A = this chain, B = another copy of it.
């Protein structure tokens, strides 16, 4: 699989360069960029993992907290710079929905076909569900509802306040998980053992170089990708909302999808849940507020106010996931339920 990703890069990147110079049309460029980003995501993921293995859990946690959704962040940054605020909010929504319903759904479903019941830490599940409710039900819903009777300036002020609190609580949560209550999380012996056995794929130096190069490459490709959105919408009759929620989200999270499902099929559901729900929390509590704050230095500020369908989709998905996860067990039918919910929401955004 890793070779395929390398091949995708070796062929893809030069083609994008050529295409940019000779001004190819947007549809093939979109496909090339999507393929390149998926391959680069896999490199970023593996480089992060390699550094993590040689650096111990705290550095690993911080690394993952910042680079885990680097691709997402970079694409969104360039979309924001292009003034496409609607697509940024939509792709954040799509990232939350994709991770919660699609990634977790496939993990539960495919893992559940192989194993009758799979277990994951109930402590992690509770920690995650508390933060999911905080982020989606409190921190996303309050600005939405309150901004209805606010002017633009008040809405931006509220968005800034909420964003700072989201980031602060996200960092406090890392401190909680990695420092004060470390023993509580992922402390089962079996996992420790398997961790010890794990060998870094690359040396620390090589991993850092790959990480930096891949990040730069993603930035370059993302900027090109963003400019294809308009044509994409016109050509296929897709709305801005559908492009953001479904298309961008799937491209931006492809690497996570792949690794979560792999873990689920190895019966390491703990890791699969951590990737999908952890990634959701990172998008909601770190990527989204960073983008809100970054937008203050751009011509057009982005408030933390989603469209009503986006918000309702995230809220209902959150309730479903919390309910299915809080027993620390999964099976194929729970996976199918999540996938069905994703389909319902996907059809909705397609028709909108």
Contact = CB atoms under 8 A, between A and B. Distances in A.
B133 A333 contact: no
Contacts of A312: 141-142, 145
Interface in A243-292: none
Give the secondary structure class of A's interface.
helix
15 contacts: A130-B324, A133-B323, A137-B319, A138-B344, A139-B341, A142-B345, A143-B348, A146-B309, A154-B352, A157-B347, A161-B344, A162-B344, A165-B343, A181-B331, A322-B323
Interface in A148-170: 148-150, 154, 157-158, 161-162, 165, 168-169
Contact of A309 (B145, B165, B173, B337): B145
A54 to B, nearest CB: 29
A131 interface: yes
A176 B113 CA distance: 11
A332 interface: yes
Nearest to A321: B133
A12 B322 CA distance: 50
Contact of A142 (B133, B168, B348): B348
Interface string A320-352: 101110010001111011001101110111011
A145 B340 contact: no
Contacts of A320: 130, 133-134, 137-138
A102 interface: no
A246 to B, nearest CB: 14
Given A127-B333, A134-B340, A137-B316, 6 more contacts: A130-B320, A131-B337, A154-B352, A158-B347, A180-B333, A181-B331
A351 B130 contact: no
Contacts of A347: 157-158, 161-162
A343 B163 CA distance: 12
A126 interface: yes
A198 to B, nearest CB: 28
A141 B340 contact: no
Contact of A149 (B180, B344, B352): B352
A116 interface: yes
A48 to B, nearest CB: 25
A285 to B, nearest CB: 10
Contact of A344 (B130, B165, B345, B349): B165
Contacts of A137: 316, 319-320
Contacts of A331: 176, 181
Contact of A336 (B162, B172, B322, B343): B172
A348 B133 CA distance: 18
A133 B319 contact: yes
Contact of A134 (B154, B158, B181, B341): B341
A327 B341 CA distance: 25
